[in-house]
Amino acid sequence: MEVSVSQKQKQTDFELASVSEVSSSSSTLPPSPVVARFGFDSGASVLRFHSDSESNEAFHIDLRSAQLFRLSPVESICICGTSETNTEKSYSRGISIQFRKEEESRAFHSAFDQWKKELVLQESCLPNGILSASKSKFDDKIEASSAKMYFHYYGQLLHQQNMLQDYVRTGTYYAAVIENRADFAGRVVVDVGAGSGILSLFAAQAGAKHVYAVEASEMAEYARKLIAGNPSLGQRITVVKGKVEEVELPEKADILISEPMGTLLVNERMLETYVIARDRFLVPDGKMFPTIGRIHMAPFSDEYLFVEMANKALFWQQQNYYGVDLTPLYGSAFKGYFSQPVVDAFDPRVLVAPAISHVINFTSIKEEDLYEIDVPLKFKAAVGGRVHGLACWFDVLFNGSTVQRWLTTAPGAPTTHWYQLRCVLPQPLYVMQAKMWGPGAEQGGILQASSCKFDLKEPYYRMSQPQAYPVTQDQPTHHLVNTQPVNS
């Protein structure tokens, strides 16, 4: 493998508060403060640690096997392999890294990602300058088995039909495209994750010069069939079967169209694919449909939902289940149920404070910035009572030259197949408005804490329709129960 001179000379230094080994077996760690240096060593990207006072390296790790996880704003853990060749004896090594400031932690993480990327580039570069068939950006992030299941799912017509039958979704895309003909007429379009090819056909209807419909799953074959069956539009559409991260297209696009939204906008990580498509295929200042996305979050109060969740674990409180005491597992079952985000459509009146919004601009965000998203939350409850968790939904904007259109999944708006999402806390929080005494009184109330980790991959599909509330005059119309059919 060739390494260029510039790479050999390049290095990045970071001063750290301290480093320590998670297992105590090694004594090679330098005393604090510590300097961490990213650099090259015999063609490999390495991270060296040495003491501030001397430049002698205390130890180094190979970035090839290293992964970095953030534990807190100023603490991270780096997991890497040992150099032990006997696989039975080789254990992962954990290095706990303390930063002095949060900004330094961020800079270190971004340098780490950058150096890992350089490594991928290096490894795919053969001495003759030809790119090797090494893993793509997609393969790098997504496990093969998980990608197989994902594309198997989308390869089936029944799941595409589910999306096509979400008339709020598909109708809004149609309106956004047709009302903004000026953005499509005579333009080259790339449909990112084309599925059945429906958005490509809409773009062709709006007068696109040519549409490249990129689809990785077997659905690409069905898209070809559908497009061939609509010849007046189909002659301007080419289906490209493959991953957006890997396929090559013969020309740049003036506009990208895609439906990359998952639960809570980011689930499925297809936004990353959309952004990669932008960097690979879009002309500078080209358009993106959708253009921006927003995640909205607000605290809610829903006693009924909380009791429903808590009751699920009651099964494990049986002391005589065929002669077996199940109670040792009660705590774990309770925790398990509360780690499931609830997916359903709820009445917006369960919200107890205005929502906080996090904006993602698809035209400018870096792909890496989608790996980890922090949304600082601070709410002032409009009413006192028990808060049971955080309600979340999203919307996206089609920023057309003629018409701006929003596709929203907000509570109270016509229901989509995304519904809304609620993260229910295992311990409700009491929110009061009266003057308080005791700990936390200075801040205006009693300090309480309740926390939970939620797994977006294990949702609880509850699917209840919003209950019919009698409408009074002071209620805005968006609180009305929607009459749209639910698309399953």
Ligand X SMILES: C[S@@+](CC[C@H](N)C(=O)[O-])C[C@H]1O[C@@H](n2cnc3c(N)ncnc32)[C@H](O)[C@@H]1O
Q: Which is nearer to ligand X, 215 or 347 (CB)?
A: 215
Q: Which is nearer to ligand X, 66 or 198 (CB)?
A: 198
Structure tokens at 398: 């089609």
Nearest distance in Å: CB 261, ligand X: 7
Q: Which of 215, 245, 259, 272 is catalytic?
A: 259
Nearest distance in Å: CB 196, ligand X: 6
Nearest distance in Å: CB 148, ligand X: 12
What are the two backbone dihedrals, phi and then psi, of residue 382, each rounded to the nearest 5 degrees?
Answer: -80, -20
H/E segment holding residue 97: strand 92-98
H/E segment holding residue 105: helix 102-123
Strand bridging mode 342-344 / 460-461: parallel
List of residues 6+ apart from 137 with CB closer than 8 A: 120, 245, 276
Q: Which of 143, 268, 303, 458 is catalytic?
A: 268
Burial class (CB in 10 A: 0-12, 13-18, 19+), 314: exposed
Nearest distance in Å: CB 6, ligand X: 32
218 is annotated as an active-site residue = no
Q: Please tell me the number of Cα atoms within 13 Å of 229 on its side-chain side.
A: 9
Angle between helices 167-178 and 157-164 (to 10 degrees): 70
Q: Which is nearer to ligand X, 245 or 395 (CB)?
A: 245
Q: Which residue is nearest to ligand X (CB)?
A: 193
List of residues 6+ apart from 316 with CB closer than 8 A: 326, 327, 329, 330, 333, 334
Angle between helices 303-312 and 330-338 (to 10 degrees): 140
H/E segment holding residue 222: helix 219-228
259 is annotated as an active-site residue = yes
Residues that bind ligand X (CB under 6 A): 138, 151, 154, 163, 193-196, 198-199, 214-217, 219, 243-245, 259, 270, 273
Nearest distance in Å: CB 436, ligand X: 47
Give the residue numbers annotated as catalytic, written as ranges.
259, 268
